[in-house]
Structure 1
Amino acid sequence: MKILIGITTKNRAQILPKAIDSALSQDYQNKEVWVFDDASTDDTSLLQNQYPQVNWITSAESKGLMYARNLFMDQEGFELFCSLDDDAWFLKSDSLSKVIHFFENDSRIAAIGFDMLDKQNGLPSVIKQTVSLTNSYIGCGHVIHCSAARQVGFYTLAPGYYGSEEKDLCLRLIDSNYLILKYTGEYVWHDKTNIERDLQLQHRSGVCNDLVFAYRRTPILYLFPALFSKIIKQFLFAFTYKKNRLGGSTAKGVYDFFAWLLTKKTLRKAVSVKGFKKYQSYKNHGQIYMGSTFI
């Protein structure tokens, strides 16, 4: 199976080489590494000479992460797409080989997420590797089957630039009877650099997109309780983390959602009740994947 390792970047020339080197160092041979430069204004373009083996796509205007991911997944000749953030990198050279093995042996698998490490969650003293059933993945390091993503329509753009895109895609994949797995113990390091990252604006966007996700996909039977519950949880989260001053950005995110409802871009396409219930039950499911069965 041929895999495209895609990295989307914007104004992170200082840290981007670590992600590229990590991708190139993977021992899986049938791969290509692509970088989407989302209208960077720093020295990112100078890295093209340093990495001629990488396929560079440079956008004159900012298109956003979801645009880039959809572009990567829609390229001909690739069965799999590995999304790696520009501030993330593999810790081992055989991570892709291990994950691709599962795709090769089970056509039901749509996506596998890597285990994430960062400055707050360092490498554990004892590493136990398991592959288990889940309902979503963390976007900064995952592998997805391109044909499965194409079948459900790839990522759907939301009003905000960030938030809930993985949940939205995974819900639709689960509704189409695909599996989402997590590879615990197979790590990707996420540096979570604040370069080009406005935390208040990001949270505002995340709140809005989470409500949009619920509105678009929740079956009508559960829609209003789901929206009410999400709004309450968002404010509770904001008040729990007072030091980050998220109350204002939470309120603005809720406002953005209701403003979006008044537009003509609110077309609902809810999943089935069965798919919605599966998605909910898989959140903390934890069943260990054993090839064709779970334990």
Structure 2
Amino acid sequence: MGESFSILITTFNRIQDLKFTLNSLQFFLNEGVKIIICDDASTDGTSEVIKKEYPSIKLLVNSVNKGLIYSRNLLMNQVQTLYAITLDDDANFLSLYPLENIIEHFQKEPECGVIAFRIFWGLEIPKNLNSDDESEIVKSYVGCGHVWRMEAWHGIPNYPEWFMFYGEEEFASYQLFKKSWQVHYVPKILVHHRVKVSDRKSQNDYGLRLRRSLRSGWYNYVLFLPLPQIPKRFFYTLYIQLKLKAFRGDFKAAIAIFQALLDLIYHLPKLILNRNRLTKVEYKEFENLSNTKIYWKP
């Protein structure tokens, strides 16, 4: 079974988080699962540690920092197995038998191109790991915990590297939908993303994260939505960001929103050139899908 899977991790200057994750995956290595890591030009000795302590792991190293999406494309295009699991360097499985559950679901659902895992965000493991959620078709998936049927990946364009960070999952999900593939949320498979989300606002990259998150949403509007929907969705999200952040004195957010607008204008020719719009019927069908399951709360 393990020979059907690759586990892909991109990392940058988080060697301690990465070691925790890799130690949690030792069983999968023993079962023949291929683990491939892309070190995106870390300066904390990441590559040296992997070579010394995890010699069976395939290591790719960017000589300069290329960004998350470039690294994910690099990893995905190294895969020679049927399925490719993507985990963040600070994420690990909590549920038992994830490989068995993945294969069972893909075999039962031939139109499923991506499985989105149930994800708990927090520094500590929750006391209750059980969930009453049922599997369902959803709009998209979360980057830190999902698995591709590689047949589906090979049928769509690579992630857009010029997005830099954020938005690549939605981009791929629209492309999958256009090719009649589905994204399924499978709560039976639980991942622990060891992140305290509330701390992000105080971190140095808060403004950059907001800028890239906002602009990637707008990029996908222009690429995929029917023309009449674009102004409504764009101005609504802009209004909400201004109302909840900029007009409440969040100076960093105000700058990020302005920068995101400039990014949108700059990339507009590329967006128009690469558009792959949903028809009115497709848009209605897509909007009727359940929303992406990002955070699970026990």
TM-score, normalised to structure 2's length?
0.84
The counterpart of 2:189, out of the listed 165, 186, 190, is 186
Does residue 1:84 correspond to 2:90, yes or no? no
Output aligned runs, 1:224-235, within 5 Å.
224-235=231-242
The 1-side partners of 2:35 and 2:120 are apart by: 22
Tell me how far 1:146 sits from its aligned partner.
Answer: 1.4
The 2-side partners of 1:73 and 1:241 are apart by: 41
**1:192-223 deviations in whole A, cap 9, x for unaligned?**
377x9712211111111111111111122323
Structure 2 equivalent of residue 24 of structure 1 = 26
Compared with structure 1, are the counterparts of its residues 90 and 271 closer, same or farther at alpha carbon in structure 2 (3 Å cutoff)? Answer: same
Does residue 1:64 correspond to 2:67, yes or no? yes
AA matched with 1:46: E
Structure 2 equivalent of residue 142 of structure 1 = 146
Structure 2 equivalent of residue 219 of structure 1 = 226
Compared with structure 1, are the counterparts of its residues 203 and 76 closer, same or farther at alpha carbon in structure 2 (3 Å cutoff)? Answer: closer
Does residue 1:6 correspond to 2:12, yes or no? no
Q: Which runs of 5+ in 1 are unaligned?
A: 287-295
Tell me how far 1:276 sits from its aligned partner.
Answer: 2.5
The 2-side partners of 1:126 and 1:90 are apart by: 11
Structure having the higher helix fraction is: 2
Structure 1 equivalent of residue 296 of structure 2 = none
Does residue 1:277 correspond to 2:280, yes or no? no
Structure 1 equivalent of residue 78 of structure 2 = 75
The 1-side partners of 2:204 and 2:41 are apart by: 15
SS of residue matched to 1:251: helix
Compared with structure 1, are the counterparts of its residues 186 and 249 closer, same or farther at alpha carbon in structure 2 (3 Å cutoff)? Answer: same
Q: Which runs of 5+ in 2 are unaligned?
A: 294-298
SS of residue matched to 1:72: helix
**1:123-151 deviations in whole A, cap 9, x for unaligned?**
26371252122111111010011121221
The 1-side partners of 2:30 and 2:254 are apart by: 45
Tell me how far 1:26 sits from its aligned partner.
Answer: 3.7
AA matched with 1:87: D
Structure 2 equivalent of residue 153 of structure 1 = 157
AA matched with 2:152: A
The 2-side partners of 1:37 and 1:284 are apart by: 32
SS of residue matched to 2:165: coil
Tell me how far 1:239 sits from its aligned partner.
Answer: 5.1
AA matched with 1:272: L
Runs of 4+ in structure 1 displaced over 3 angstroms? 26-30, 239-245, 263-266, 283-286
TM-score, normalised to structure 1's length?
0.85
Does residue 1:208 correspond to 2:215, yes or no? yes
Compared with structure 1, are the counterparts of its residues 116 and 260 closer, same or farther at alpha carbon in structure 2 (3 Å cutoff)? Answer: same
Does residue 1:257 correspond to 2:260, yes or no? no
The 1-side partners of 2:251 and 2:290 are apart by: 27
AA matched with 1:190: H
Matched-pair identity in %:
24
Tell me how far 1:270 sits from its aligned partner.
Answer: 2.4
Compared with structure 1, are the counterparts of its residues 28 and 54 closer, same or farther at alpha carbon in structure 2 (3 Å cutoff)? Answer: closer
SS of residue matched to 1:56: strand
SS of residue matched to 1:25: helix
The 1-side partners of 2:9 and 2:260 are apart by: 28
